[in-house]
Structure 1
Amino acid sequence: MIRTILIPIFMLGVCSAVLAGEDYDLWKEAKRYWYDEEWQKAADSYETLLTNYPNSPFHFKSMYFLAYCEVKMDRDDRAFELLTELVEGKNDDRKDGNLIEDAKSLRILIAFEKSKNDGSFKTVLKDALKDKSTSIRFQSASSLAELGDRACVNVLFQILETTKDADMRDLAIKKLLLVADEKDKKRLDSVLQEKRTEGGEGAPRMLRLIVRDLTGNKETVKVNVPEKLLSIVLRSLTPEQRDLIEQNAVDLDALSREIRNMPPNTVIFQISDKNQEIKLYLD
């Protein structure tokens, strides 16, 4: 079941120039039920409109909202069919760009949930990686990262390298680190260094975690992220590493407050035992 779905961004209303008719009455009725979260009643009104008025200007919007209602009632299979018909069906002037993007987004949410038990639905997510919409590419890449599928890596890097949206960039880093191998981490470090050089005054301060294996059996681990993504750094530590750090009087829970007041080039901690050395510093 999909617990959270976005309210669509396209307008629920229509131009007042549209002549009122029974299809319009059904649309208004369905919309009232929709706002009241009476999903079955809304679905019935949308179904009637779709069946009786295939040429209505409200036809494709009703198809989307019917799918939305079906999701709310845990009928994802029916919702997926409706959204696929809406997204992949023939072009029609009644399909505006926002409507189709909302339909794609909801379809990705359904495919993501279904992919947890049926890998065939990953095809929908992977196809969406080629979508012309950045938000759709990002949503599908993020979903694949959550599923541990590395097909998302190049798209996440493309978004990281090109977007000017700081929140999207930070989220792309989080998703990348879910699937990144050592080569990806080095590439990420390079991209972030480049962004920092380009960014000037507004560039984020960087946290750098280095874990060196002193036994010679493992590679050095490096994690480099903007300061506000400290939680990613802490989650990358093993329970044994956290214990070692806390045994040396470092309060990991208090770090997020303390780091804000630290000047650049501060070594936050540097701790070692016979097996490893752990260093965290603020660049």
Structure 2
Amino acid sequence: LNSFALILSCYFINLVPKIPLNGGQRIPFHSLIGEIRFENVTFAYPTRPEQMILEGLHLTVEPGQVLAICGPSGEGKTTITSLLERFYEPLFGRITLDGKDLKTLDPNWLRGSVIGFISQEPILFATTIEENIRYGKPDATDQEVREAAHLANADTFVEEFPDGYETVVGERGVTLSGGQKQRIAIARALLKNPPILVLDEATSALDAESEHIVHEALERAMQGRTVIVIAHRLSTIQNADRIVVLKGHKIVEQGTHSQLLKRKGEYYNLTKLQNQPL
């Protein structure tokens, strides 16, 4: 068993990534507007090639638009964001940013400068609050760090700590509440001033009070950016410019919250299941 495990470990260590970490084009920031298109995208994970996650997906996110994606578990919501960040390539079809195929763009630039990603469980390091925020832009000035914290509604609680921004948060941020960790993650994402923001269940693990504070921070963060919101809790996406419903690995409905309720289709049914007011 140990020999097999060793062979398996060596195999994975020696695997060459199919997607290079860097290299490729970069769109000048002064001309980047943030239009995203999924054109007939079909995808299955390499470990489960027989199980299609997305089939013939057509999706456009207009510059500056807040697009929410919802639907049952396992229908490809988070997969869409993984494809956008080029952690995987589509089997068929293509994804473009401002008309340029993602395959031609530098993945390091795309993930490091263009897309700000905020997930349900933020990853924090056992260092200071300041360094955790600065991770989003290592060459940021102290003033830039503090401005990002202010935008994220983080400055109020940070300044209450005796050591302020020099407070060490512990492994995975164990000394902070869920809402505090999330606001630091938002500040980190905002520090690089990304034209595209991806929110993957960003408030689903928070209590009502923390969710309200974090939601205020996210509202500020979304201004002037192209935003994709992945949500299970439909109460968090009612104000989105457009809501897309995935089912059967395809888009089955799209529109505003009020439009979708009037149709009494999949979105309406999901809303009823969650006991949301109609």
User: TM-score scaled by structure 1?
Assistant: 0.23
**RCO greater where, 1 or 2, for CA within 8 Å and sep 6 or more?**
2
Higher share of residues assigned helix: 1
User: TM-score scaled by structure 2?
Assistant: 0.23
Greater Rg by CA: 1
